[in-house]
Amino acid sequence: MTAFWKSPWLPRVVFLLCLAPALWLVWLWHNNRLGINQLELVARYSGSWTLRMLLISLAITPLRRLPGLSPLVRFRRMTGLFAFFYGTLHALHYFGLDVQWDMNIIKEDLTFRRFFIAGMVSLLLMLPLALTSFDAAIRKLGGKRWRLLHRLAYLAGIAGVVHFLWQGKSIDPRPVQYALILALLLLTRVVYAALDYRRRLRRA
């Protein structure tokens, strides 16, 4: 198992797996397989993968505490950056293709339509996380402040799930499923924090 985690090929495989949804979308576009409503398909596809990557990134923190899974932490940064990558694609699709940079529509959507507001909040919360995901930023901020800042990922996840829930275009169980997964991850974090606090009290 140790050899598996230390394999130099593993990060490359994980990178390709994270990139695969985008490559698949490019293949569908190149081969005219996006269907009739291309705009909606791309919007839903990129939005779904934003949430999936964000939830995978958040899941690594509790999973790495399980026996034998601590090396998973080396992929938390990568999956978090891919969440921002897909979120950016999702936003650019809206700005560039859906409304074609019509500032009047954009202003109206981001002022009065709660669905778009929640989505933009999620993306903006991920922005500082992406900008501070590098070793130099960690050293400059300090480990404690950096970890505190990156808890924004949970707020980004909440805003992203709300964004999905508020679409309201059709009956879709996926946003509820994502909400339940996120709630479980939040609960797990609370439980681990309580256990750590109890452990510190015993040592004091």
- Please write the tens of the pLDDT for every residue from 158-176: 999 999 988 866 667 888 8
Given this model, what pLDDT does residue 4 score?
82
User: How much is the pLDDT for 35?
Assistant: 82
pLDDT at 144: 85
Residues 6+ apart with CB under 8 A from 65: 192
Instruction: Please report the pLDDT score of residue 65 as a whole number.
Output: 87
Which parts of the chain have pLDDT scores under 50? none
